[in-house]
Amino acid sequence: MTTPELYDMVIVGGGPAGLTAALYACRARYKTLLVERIGLGGQLLTYEKVDNYPGFPEGITTFELTELFKAQAVRFGMEHRSTEVTSMDVSGPIKVLQTADGPIQAKAVIIATGCAPKKLQVKGEAEFTGRGVSYCAVCDGPFYRNETVAVVGGGDTAVEEAVYLTKFVSHVHIIHRRDALRAVKIIQEEAFANPKITVHWNRVVTEIHGGPQGVTDLALQDTLTGDVSRLEVAGVFIFVGLIPNTAWVPETVRRDPLGFLMTDDDMATSVPGVFAAGDVRSKSLRQIVTAVGDGATAAFNAGRYIESPAHHG
């Protein structure tokens, strides 16, 4: 058997954090591989447009921004492979990543695998996923032209995507479990001003009902009175938060109570030579602008780690 190729740095995840880490690593002339399981862009591509990334005063589509990030990393020689990392051995100075296409070795690893949408975990959710239950408005919104849909959640994603869905649908019902939204005020103002949006306060979805054609209605419970009502919708978009993509990361890499990877200011995790960047990291603000900062910091410090003779043979 041939020895797996040894890279200076392997970056796992091709969202804004991973692509920025690749840009910095390649520009510093480290032998770098970026591994991404689906396509470059990551969770970013589930949104339509970005309005708060500096340098684009009119906003930019996530597709265009991803292409720009990618082109810049490629200009400095980014090598990229589409495969899924299933596990990682961090017991020795050289880290070994197992992938569907065989093992890869690295002196340092940057984990930038981001997050996946959290599930609501109610009856009907799994059964109707892809048939009325969705976690991506950009992907599925156009299927609901002139129909009524629900959005569950009160954070930035829920409210922003509710506004986006009004481009297609006749009406959006936002279902929120409290009496105030978590989303930033400017997004809230946009939603409140939109006649196609109704917010149902203090309500939770307890069941998702449907038939052979897909979702037909939701059972909603009033969190104050306990009353249950029915809301007819053709689709329900669930945006109730994020869970980190860390199933492949060994338990020795320390997590916070919610499962996000803990790092110091240099993006170093509890395991020497393993760094984390972007949404997968335990932090207060999950944005593109913070992800790219993490990516640059992680690549810089992974470089310092590689150069330090004490750390590997």
Among 78, 120, 291, 296, binds ligand NAP (CB under 6 A): 120
The site map against ligand NAP for 125-154 (x = CB under 6 A) is: ---------------------------xxx
**Does the protein bind ligand NAP through residue 220 (CB under 6 A)?**
no
| Residue with the CB atom nearest ligand NAP in the bound state | 155
**Does the protein bind ligand NAP through residue 36 (CB under 6 A)?**
no
Q: How far is the CB of 221 from ligand NAP (least distance, A)?
A: 11
Contact between residue 16 and residue 288 where contact means Cβ atoms under 8 Å apart: yes
**Among candidate residues 149, 85, 157, the one with its CA nearest the CA of residue 118:** 157
d(Cα 39, Cα 216) in Å, to the nearest integer? 33
Burial of 57 (0-12, 13-18, 19+ CB in 10 A): exposed
Strands 242-244 and 148-152: unpaired
The site map against ligand NAP for 71-110 (x = CB under 6 A) is: ----------------------------------------
Q: Which of residues 194-213 bind ligand NAP (CB under 6 A)?
A: 204
Catalytic annotation present for 136: yes
**Among candidate residues 143, 145, 156, 243, the one with its CA nearest the CA of residue 196:** 145
Contact between residue 235 and residue 133 where contact means Cβ atoms under 8 Å apart: yes
d(Cα 160, Cα 145) in Å, to the nearest integer? 18
**Does the protein bind ligand NAP through residue 214 (CB under 6 A)?**
no
**Does the protein bind ligand NAP through residue 286 (CB under 6 A)?**
yes
Q: How far is the CB of 154 from ligand NAP (least distance, A)?
A: 3
Contact between residue 41 and residue 15 where contact means Cβ atoms under 8 Å apart: yes
Among 81, 131, 171, 177, binds ligand NAP (CB under 6 A): 177
**Does the protein bind ligand NAP through residue 294 (CB under 6 A)?**
no
Among 178, 230, 254, 304, binds ligand NAP (CB under 6 A): 178
3-class DSSP state of 75: helix
| 150: Cβ contacts below 8 Å, ≥ 6 apart | 172, 173, 174, 175, 205, 218, 231, 233, 235, 236, 237
Among 30, 239, 275, 305, binds ligand NAP (CB under 6 A): 239
3-class DSSP state of 280: helix
- Applying CB under 6 A, the site for ligand NAP has a residue count of 20
Among 9, 17, 19, 240, binds ligand NAP (CB under 6 A): 240
Catalytic annotation present for 26: no
The active-site residue out of 8, 140, 217, 279 is: 140
Distances (CA, A) of 204 to 26, 184, 193, 271: 47, 21, 23, 40
The active-site residue out of 139, 179, 227, 264 is: 139
Complete DSSP assignment for 138-157 = HHHGGGGTT-EEEEE--SHH
**Does the protein bind ligand NAP through residue 155 (CB under 6 A)?**
yes
Among 6, 29, 38, 52, binds ligand NAP (CB under 6 A): 52
**Does the protein bind ligand NAP through residue 241 (CB under 6 A)?**
yes
Burial 228-240 (b: 16+ CB within 10 A, else e): eeebebbbbbbbb
Among 182, 196, 255, 312, binds ligand NAP (CB under 6 A): 182
Which amino acids are annotated catalytic? 136, 139-140
Residues lying near ligand NAP in the complex (CB under 6 A): 52, 120, 152-158, 160, 177-178, 182, 204, 239-242, 286-287
